[in-house]
């Protein structure tokens, strides 16, 4: 059985080329990969990374559990992150982590974590993930949220928990992307809202061939 | 005679851009791309732009900065556009407002004769008796006293309203010399700066000043005329990447914590700055004299702007009225553009010797000292002015002219500094209204503290910008005696009754005095009664004159003159900008199976933010699918909470009113939840999936609240449990109907037989390799299984089940169908059939309470409810087959008195009669008792209380 993105309804409205990734059906491109690359370099793009693995760790020993997924995760400060190409540990509070990983890796990670010491939930299907990229992505954010997301204040590697277009979300910022983790059931609404405000700054949807999944904060 | 000029003796003229044309009141007007609507119209000798609010007096351009109502026109059917600030576009349609049939011949101009004959404030005093006359009078008054008309179809508006946020370190409001310097000061400290100006171009009044800059701390600017110096400064700043500039942007409000609200076209900007520097500058002072509203009277800075920014000479024969050297500067610009400067009327006594006055004297232009303007003549354009002493009285002399230039000092734009926090005060030394103390993080600089030289404005601006960047104390401002411009009397007390204080609302000095005589002798009540300062400019033009004259006419010293409170919006802001676009504010929640419902042609139901399937065909038909075959419904919106850990049972004992010590693995139970007040607020099921692992389902609306409640109690009480909210992680469907077992048995390896998997049990297995959990429950009254599985398989699982179930005739059904099914079975829905006063005992779910536990949430109140007995009871009922179906919520009556209410009511397609649940008094709740339901149309129907569900009362079908 195929796992579907919460944006499957959006896919229908575009000449999307779908690809299969660890059992997920996800957009490889939205019909014109060349155009997506131009917008990535000159305008802004919105990619669907809903298929990435997402694991939440909650409880007093969440840091210990996080350490079991990525070395050093227990030492990061709240609202900061530790990442490599394949995964990122986002420390939301002293007692809460969200682990992001390449699609399919979550199964192994869940096995590594001692479920007795903290509350572990596989949130892969519960949460959507939209990624804003391109030099004009800040203009999309400035139309979308009352949060101060200035790049000199919210630097790469930062984690923000707030709301965007009234949708609660966790934002993980890398050097070139803003990764927005949000409830799956609101994914299509959030996509619509971002695309709506992004019209003026050349925001286009794009697939994972244009913006492949990578969690490194320097990317 | 106005005209376009091509050369100027004293300055360079701007590049006007491409030629274009537009329509004004149906006539073709030629213009350039750099033109504002006002400059283009003046260049085409269109002096008469609009008519006044009340008297429909002719009005023309005045300050050319968009401060007054004169600038308001309708552009492409959109009313109240500022002609002064709007650039012309090819093919644009511009129309005058508040005129009929035309701006040149306006019937309502008769008001100018009639209204003064009526008592002061006649609209408050007349048309009250007989009563019917007021609606007619109101309609007529509104018709003749208004601004533009809105095209309510909205078809002319093709616009996107956007909301933006900015978070600069320093926000500078005003792009004149001091604002630019402030931006530079803050930029030099490495801060991010947002610079906002409401004009199309940065530079402020310096853009039309030919005075050379001297002694400026920025030596690169010394020795060149101000209009070149300011452009050089702009170029210098433009290179800084930390600067963002927004022009054509009006700041209309300043709020707590440095929130700056601004509008640019259809965009609303909410700017939260660390510091705000206000450099709004000053505009030419409004002088009150006879016929001071006539077309052809322009402010000095307006005239300078027209000449130097648009190459337009607004008149030929010119009289300049002044009180400072700036008036001579304007005269020189007029002369250099080819105007005939008939006279300069200087209110100062002989002895002044400004730089420009000297130059003007050398040109042999007549200068009259110690005098000012008394009266203007001419109707649609002035043709003569009378001058006399500044104290008023008789006029001495008259001059023929078609342009009267007012250069009688400057009025600081204190509105933004005040904004409801602090009222301006009259500074007798500087002869202006000022606001001195600003809240922390807010700074002010520039002409708003009195006009000063370019170099002083630059220094003060830089200091303010640095202070704002470093959060230092605000620097002090100073003005030397030669920089102070004396204020003429607010009203030149000459003859005549058309001394307009507030041109927007057509209020004259005579009316203001009459209002004071009627008892409105405080500036606030005077404003409200006479409506002075309440027009489109919101007092920007007249607040100083209103304050000074109100002080004089109420016998207060002018030094104690105080304007009325200044509040946002400072400038006009459209409702569209404030409202934004609605869809962003109400996101839609979609289940993981949403697209499948669309494929089935669903009719959706809004359940809070959720889109749930209401039905696919019609609910009455869909009931039949379930009762006679096989149906499937998406129940993914249910709350799903997993509880595990060593203290799981203790936690459940504490949170829920039932007992779980003997709750075996593989069992499922109906469960309720009560609050600490013992009130029923939730029901669902709880299943024991594995040893120590429980799975609780909740209603859609309560899932977040219950999860939050659990988390809260876990902080308070010491339970070693893990609570996992899986509401979004899992999707769920309910497959129900007599064929459900046979169908599902095909898909799973576990034994689905009634013996192996009985009613109210749960199992974990897989379907097509997807892990699923089964819960055999009976909400619909039929054999049925709730299947929970990972949300990402939502669409695939639904399609798989629909395909595999095809041979069993499986059909989707919606929430409305489910409501009928559950009502046939007599199941309640908390929140629908219960309310904030419903005890579980009265609701009929007391069986789920085991109150012989040590302690649990709501225990004390449940005991109280139990001891008290039942006052009311929720009962199932049925109607006679011929009775109409009541609406939900209608009243239950006994002997004509209200004795309860219907909570749920539907037509039962199975029983072919109306059924429902109703609250009735306990003494009416006996089985077989009849009671009356009053329908919405007043008709009464008789209902009969049942002691059991109408459908399958023994539960044979769901246990089969």
Chain A residues within an 8 Å CB radius of B611: none
Chain B residues whose beta carbon lies within 8 Å of the beta carbon of residue A122? 729
Average pLDDT over residues B46-58: 93
Residue to mutate among A61, A117, A118, A185, with most B CBs inside 10 A, is: A185
Given a contact cutoff of 8 angstroms between Cβ atoms, the answer to whether B640 and B727 are in contact is yes
pLDDT of A201 over the 60 cut: yes
How far A162 CA lies from chain B's nearest CA (Å)? 15
Q: Is residue B484 part of a domain?
A: no
Q: Does B677 share its domain with B741?
A: no
In-domain check, residue B912: yes
Element (H, E) at B137: helix B133-144
Instruction: Residue B814: give the domain boundaries.
Output: 597-637+729-832
Residue B120 has pLDDT above 90, yes or no: no
Which of A208-212, B847-851, B946-950 shows the lowest per-residue confidence on average (mean pLDDT)?
B946-950
Domain assignment present for B754: yes
Beta bridge partners of A83: A88
Q: Using CA atoms, how far apart are residues B373 and B360, in angstroms rounded to an integer? A: 20
Torsions phi, psi of B681, nearest 5? -130, -5
pLDDT attached to residue B921: 96
Are A167 and B598 in contact (CB < 8 Å)? Answer: no
* Residues in chain B within 8 Å Cβ distance of A193: 583-584, 587
Query: Do B653 and B756 belong to one domain?
Result: no
- pLDDT band at B152, cuts 50/70/90? confident
Say which residues have a Cβ less than 8 Å from residue B142's Cβ, sequence separation at least 6: none
**Per-residue confidence (pLDDT) for residue B584, from 0 to 100:** 58
Are A125 and B791 an interchain contact pair (Cβ–Cβ within 8 Å)? yes
Predicted confidence (pLDDT) at residue B160 exceeds the cutoff of 70: yes
Domain assignment of residue B654, yes or no = yes
ipTM over 0.85: yes
- Interchain contact, B790 vs A125, CB within 8 Å: yes
**Given this model, what pLDDT does residue B369 score?**
96
Residues B738 and B631 in one domain: yes
Q: Please, which residues 780-839 of chain B have a Cβ atom closer than 8 Å to chain A?
A: 790-797, 800
B158 part of contact set with chain A, CB < 8 Å? no
Residue finishing a domain among B832, B853, B879: B832
Upstream peptide bond of B569 is cis (omega within 30 degrees of 0): yes
* DSSP 8-state class, residue B739: T
Architecture of domain A53-122: 2-Layer Sandwich (3.30)
Asked if B821 and B635 touch (Cβ cutoff 8 Å), the reply is no
- Mutate one of B165, B191, B787 to test the A interface: name it (highest A CB count within 10 A): B165
Instruction: Name the burial class of residue B592, with classes exposed (0-12), middle (13-18) and buried (19+) by CB atoms within 10 angstroms of its CB.
Output: buried
**Domain of residue B683, CATH code:** 3.30.70.1400
Structural domain total, chain B: 3
Give B260's Cβ-side CA count (13 Å radius). Answer: 30
Most B-contacting residue of A184, A186, A198, A203 (CB-CB within 10 A), to test interface: A184
pLDDT of residue B422: 86
Q: Does the beta-carbon distance from B163 to A148 stay under 8 Å?
A: no
Same domain, B700 and B736: no
Separation in Å, CA of B694 to nearest CA in chain A:
14
Chain A contact for B584, CB < 8 A?
A: yes
What region, left, alpha or beta, does residue B419 occupy, with left being phi > 0 and alpha being psi -120 to 50 degrees? left
Q: How far apart are CA B572 and CA A216, in angstroms?
A: 47
Q: What is the pLDDT of residue B583?
A: 57
Query: A125 and B792: CB-CB below 8 Å?
Result: yes
- CB of B909 within 8 Å of a chain A CB? The answer is no
Residue B160: list chain A partners with CB under 8 A.
199-200
- Pick from A211, A212, A208: nearest CA to A19: A208
Asked if B741 and B819 sit in the same domain, the reply is yes
Of the candidates B523, B356, B490, B331, which has an alpha carbon nearest to the alpha carbon of residue B411?
B490
Predicted pLDDT of residue B796 = 98
Residue of A150, A165, A197 lying closest to B587 (CB–CB): A165
**Which residues of chain A neighbour B796 with C-beta distances below 8 Å?**
1-4
pLDDT at B351 over 90: no
Average pLDDT over residues B30-53: 95
- pLDDT value of residue B297: 97
B746 located within any domain: yes
Eight-state DSSP code of residue B206: G
Q: Which residues contact B253 (CB under 8 A, 6 or more apart)?
A: B260, B261, B419, B568, B569, B570
User: Which residue from B167, B272, B729 is facing A125, i.e. has the nearest CB?
Assistant: B729
Say if B599 is an interface residue toward chain A (CB within 8 Å): no
Residue-level pLDDT at B292: 97
Pairing of strands B897-908, B891-894: antiparallel
Q: Which residues of B touch A153 (CB under 8 A)?
A: 167
pLDDT of res. B157: 73
**Residues of B with Cβ-Cβ distance to A127 under 8 angstroms:** 728
For residue B939, give the CATH number of its domain.
2.40.30.110
Of A119, A142, A189, the CB nearest to B724: A119
Of B832, B859, B891, the one marking the end of a domain is B832
In a domain, B672, yes or no: yes
Looking at residue B582, its pLDDT comes to 60
Pair (B632, B739) in one structural domain: yes
- CATH number, residue B812: 3.30.1360.120
Range(s) within chain A of domains with CATH label 3.30.70.1400: 53-122
Residues B625 and B737 in one domain: yes
What's the helix, strand, coil split of chain A in %, to 5?
25, 35, 40
- Average pLDDT of A30-42? 95
What residue ranges of chain A are covered by domains with CATH 3.30.1360.120?
3-51+126-206
Q: Is the dihedral angle over the CA atoms A156, A162, A164, A169 positive or is it negative?
A: positive
- Chain-chain contact of B592 with A9 (C-beta, under 8 angstroms): no
Distance from CA of A219 to the nearest CA of B (A): 23
Tell me the CB-side half-sphere exposure of residue B420, using CA atoms within 13 A.
9
B552 at interface of A, judged by CB pairs closer than 8 A: no
Q: B598 CB near a chain A CB, below 8 Å?
A: yes
- Beta carbons of A9 and B164 less than 8 Å apart: no
B12 in Cβ contact with B333 (< 8 Å): no
Q: Hey, are the CB atoms on B583 and A150 less than 8 Å from each other?
A: no
Using the 3D structure, point to which of B806, B832, B858 is the last residue of a domain.
B832
| Lowest mean pLDDT segment, chosen from A137-141, A198-202, B475-479, B955-959 | A198-202
pLDDT band at B334 (very low <50, low <70, confident <90, very high): very high
**Cα separation, A83 vs A157, whole angstroms:** 8
Which of A59, A148, A197 lies at the smallest CB-CB distance from B167? A148
Q: Is B722 inside any structural domain?
A: yes
Distance from CA of A142 to the nearest CA of B (A): 5
CATH level 3 topology of A3-51+126-206 = Gyrase A; domain 2 (3.30.1360)
Contact flag A190-B587 (C-beta cutoff 8 Å): yes
B795 and B710 in a single domain? The answer is no
* pLDDT at A67 > cutoff 80: yes
Q: Which of B165, B591, B730 sits opposite A142 (nearest CB)?
A: B165
Q: Which residues of A touch B726 (CB under 8 A)?
A: 121, 126
Contact A142 B587 (CB under 8 A): no
Closest approach of B786 to chain A, Cα-based (Å): 19
As a whole-number percent, the residues of chain A with pLDDT over 90 amount to 92
Q: Does residue B703 sit in the same domain as residue B666?
A: yes
> Coil, strand, or helix at residue B328?
helix
B904-929 average pLDDT score: 96
Residue B346 has pLDDT above 80, yes or no: yes
Which burial class, exposed, middle or buried, applies to A156 when counting CB atoms under 10 A from its CB (0-12, 13-18, 19+)?
Answer: middle
Would strands B93-95 and B72-75 be described as parallel, antiparallel, or unpaired? antiparallel
Angle at B573 (CA atoms; ends B568, B578), nearest 5 degrees: 95
* B689/B736 same-domain check: no
Helical residues (DSSP H) of B442-584, grouped into ranges: 454-470, 509-517, 523-530, 543-553, 575-579
Q: What is the mean pLDDT of residues B852-866?
A: 93
Q: What percentage of residues in chain B have a pLDDT greater than 70? A: 99
Instruction: Identify whether B534 is part of a domain.
Output: no
Contact status of B770 with chain A (Cβ, < 8 Å): yes
Q: Which positions 685-744 of B are in contact with A (Cβ < 8 Å)?
A: 722-730
Q: Is the pLDDT of residue B154 over 80?
A: no
CA–CA distances in Å: residue B536 to residues B261, B573, B651: 18, 11, 65
Using the predicted structure, report yes or no on whether residue B949 has a pLDDT greater than 90: no
Distance from CA of B507 to the nearest CA of A (A): 43
The stretch B176-192 carries a mean pLDDT of 97
In this complex, do B795 and A8 lie within 8 Å of one another by their Cβ atoms? yes
CB contact under 8 A, A185 and B591: yes
In B564-637, alpha helices (H): 575-579, 594-599, 619-628
Regarding whether B818 and B748 lie in a shared domain, the answer is yes
SS3 label, residue B602: coil
| Residues B716 and B738 grouped into a single domain | no
Residue pLDDT, tens place only, B296-309: 999 999 999 999 99
Distance CA B840, CA B862 (A): 8
B423-440 pLDDT tens trace: 899 999 999 999 988 999
The reply to whether B594 touches chain A by the CB within 8 Å rule is yes
Percent of chain B with pLDDT over 90: 83
Residues 298-317 of B with CB under 8 A from A: none
Label residue A200 by pLDDT band (50, 70, 90). Answer: confident
Q: Tell me, what's the pLDDT at B585?
A: 66
Q: Where are the beta strands (DSSP E) in B596-679?
A: 603-607, 610-615, 631-634, 639-644, 668-674
**Per-residue pLDDT at B842:** 96
């Amino acid at each position: 059985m195929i796992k579907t993105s919460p944006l499957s309804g959006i896919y229908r409205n575009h000449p999307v080329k779908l690809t299969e990734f660890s059992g997920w059906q996800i957009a490889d491109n939205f019909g014109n990969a060349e155009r997506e690359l131009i917008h990535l370099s000159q305008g802004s793009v919105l990619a669907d990374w809903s298929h990435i693995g997402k694991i939440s760790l909650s409880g007093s020993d969440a840091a210990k559990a996080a350490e079991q997924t990525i070395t050093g995760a227990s030492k990061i400060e709240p609202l900061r992150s530790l990442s490599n190409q394949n995964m990122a540990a986002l420390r939301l509070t002293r007692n809460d982590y969200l682990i992001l990983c390449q699609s399919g890796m979550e199964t192994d990670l869940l096995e590594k974590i001692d479920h007795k010491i903290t509350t572990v939930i596989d949130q892969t299907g519960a949460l959507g993930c939209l990624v804003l990229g391109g030099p004009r992505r800040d203009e999309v954010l400035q139309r979308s949220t009352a949060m101060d997301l200035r790049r000199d204040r919210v630097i790469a590697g930062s984690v923000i928990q707030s709301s965007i277009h009234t949708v609660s979300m966790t934002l993980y910022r890398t050097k070139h992307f803003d990764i927005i983790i949000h409830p799956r059931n609101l994914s299509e609404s959030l996509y619509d809202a971002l695309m709506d405000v992004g019209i003026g700054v050349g925001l286009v949807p794009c697939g994972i061939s244009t913006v492949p999944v990578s969690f490194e904060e320097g990317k | 005679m106005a005209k376009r000029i091509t050369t100027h003796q004293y300055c360079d003229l701007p590049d006007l851009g491409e030629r274009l044309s537009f329509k004004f009141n149906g006539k073709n007007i030629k213009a350039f791309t750099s033109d504002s609507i006002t400059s283009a119209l003046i260049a085409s000798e269109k002096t008469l732009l609009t008519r006044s609010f009340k008297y429909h007096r002719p009005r023309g351009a005045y300050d050319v900065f968009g401060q007054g109502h004169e600038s308001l026109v309708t552009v492409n059917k959109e009313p109240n556009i500022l002609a002064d600030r709007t650039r012309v576009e090819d093919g644009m349609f511009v129309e005058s407002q508040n005129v009929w049939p035309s701006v040149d011949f306006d019937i309502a101009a008769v008001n100018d004769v009639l209204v003064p004959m009526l008592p002061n404030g006649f609209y408050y005093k007349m048309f009250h008796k007989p009563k019917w006359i007021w609606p007619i009078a109101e309609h007529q008054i509104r018709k003749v006293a208004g601004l533009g008309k809105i095209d309510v179809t909205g078809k002319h508006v093709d616009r996107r309203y956007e909301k933006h946020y900015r978070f600069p370190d320093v926000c500078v409001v005003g792009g004149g010399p001091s604002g630019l310097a402030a931006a530079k000061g803050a930029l030099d400290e490495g801060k991010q700066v947002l610079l906002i100006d409401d004009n199309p171009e940065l530079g402020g009044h310096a853009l039309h000043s030919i005075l050379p800059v001297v002694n400026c701390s920025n030596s690169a600017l010394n020795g060149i005329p101000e209009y070149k110096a300011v452009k050089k400064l702009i170029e210098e700043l433009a290179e800084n990447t930390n600067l963002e500039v927004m022009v054509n942007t009006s700041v209309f409000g300043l709020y707590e914590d440095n929130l700056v609200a601004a509008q640019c076209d259809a965009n609303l900007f909410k700017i939260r700055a660390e510091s705000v520097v206000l450099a709004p500058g000053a505009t030419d002072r409004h002088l009150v004299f006879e016929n001071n509203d006539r077309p052809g009277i322009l402010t000095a800075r307006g005239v300078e702007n027209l000449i130097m920014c648009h190459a337009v000479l607004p008149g030929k024969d010119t009289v300049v009225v002044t009180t400072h050297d700036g008036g001579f500067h304007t005269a020189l610009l007029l002369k250099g553009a080819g105007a005939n400067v008939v006279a300069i009327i200087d209110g100062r006594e002989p002895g002044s010797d400004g730089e420009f006055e000297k130059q003007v004297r050398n040109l042999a232009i007549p200068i009259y000292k110690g005098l000012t303007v008394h009266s203007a003549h001419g109707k649609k354009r002035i043709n003569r002015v009378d001058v006399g002493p500044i104290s008023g009285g008789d006029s001495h002399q008259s001059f023929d002219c078609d342009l009267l230039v007012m250069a009688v000092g400057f009025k600081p734009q204190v509105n933004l500094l005040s904004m409801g926090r602090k009222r301006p005060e009259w500074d007798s030394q500087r002869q202006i209204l000022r606001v001195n103390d600003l809240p922390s993080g807010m700074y002010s600089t520039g002409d708003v503290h009195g006009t000063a030289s370019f170099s002083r404005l630059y220094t003060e601006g830089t200091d303010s910008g640095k202070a704002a960047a470093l959060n230092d104390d605000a620097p002090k401002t100073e003005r030397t005696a030669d920089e102070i411009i004396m204020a003429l009397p607010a009203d030149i007390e000459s003859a005549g009754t058309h001394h307009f204080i507030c041109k927007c609302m057509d209020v004259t000095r005579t009316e203001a005095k009459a209002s004071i005589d009627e008892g409105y002798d405080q500036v606030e009540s005077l404003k409200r009664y006479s409506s002075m300062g309440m027009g489109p400019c919101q007092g920007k033009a007249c607040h100083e004159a209103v304050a000074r004259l109100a002080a004089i006419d109420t016998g207060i010293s002018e030094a104690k003159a105080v304007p009325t409170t200044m509040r946002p919006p400072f400038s006009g802001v459209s409702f569209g900008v404030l409202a934004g676009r609605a869809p962003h504010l109400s996101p839609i929640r979609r289940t993981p199976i949403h697209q499948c419902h669309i494929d089935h042609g669903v009719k959706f139901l809004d359940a809070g933010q959720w889109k749930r399937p209401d039905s696919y065909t019609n609910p009455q038909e869909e009931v039949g699918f379930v009762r006679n075959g096989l149906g499937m419904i998406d129940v993914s919106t249910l709350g799903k909470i997993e509880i595990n850990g060593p203290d799981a049972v203790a936690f459940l004992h504490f949170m829920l009113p039932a007992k779980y010590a003997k709750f075996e693995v593989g069992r499922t139970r109906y469960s309720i939840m009560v609050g600490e007040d013992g009130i029923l607020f939730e029901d669902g099921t709880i299943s024991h999936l594995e040893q120590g692992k429980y799975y609780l389902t909740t209603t859609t609306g309560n899932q977040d609240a219950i999860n939050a409640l659990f988390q809260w109690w876990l902080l308070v009480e010491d339970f070693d449990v893990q609570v996992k909210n899986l509401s979004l992680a899992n999707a769920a469907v309910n497959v129900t109907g007599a064929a459900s077992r046979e169908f599902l048995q095909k898909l799973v390896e576990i034994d689905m037989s009634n013996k192996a998997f009985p009613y109210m049990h749960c199992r974990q297995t897989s379907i097509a390799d997807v892990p699923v959990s089964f819960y055999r429950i009976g909400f619909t009254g039929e054999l049925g299984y709730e299947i929970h599985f990972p949300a990402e398989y939502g669409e695939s699982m639904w399609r798989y089940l629909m395909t595999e179930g095809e041979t069993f005739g499986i059909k989707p059904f919606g929430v409305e169908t489910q409501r009928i099914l559950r009502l046939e079975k007599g199941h309640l829905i908390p929140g629908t059939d219960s309310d904030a006063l419903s005890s579980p005992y009265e609701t009929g779910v007391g069986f789920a309470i085991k109150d012989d536990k040590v302690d649990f949430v709501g225990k004390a109140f449940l005991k109280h409810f139990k001891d008290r007995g039942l006052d009311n009871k929720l009962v199932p009922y049925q109607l006679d087959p011929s009775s109409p179906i009541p609406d939900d919520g209608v009243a239950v009556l006994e002997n004509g008195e209200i004795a309860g209410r219907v909570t749920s009511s539907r037509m039962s397609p199975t029983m072919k009669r109306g059924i429902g649940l109703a609250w009735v008094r306990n003494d009416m709740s006996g089985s077989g008792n009849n009671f009356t339901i009053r329908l919405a149309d007043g008709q009464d129907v008789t209902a009969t209380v049942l002691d059991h569900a109408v459908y399958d009362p023994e539960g044979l079908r769901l246990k089969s």
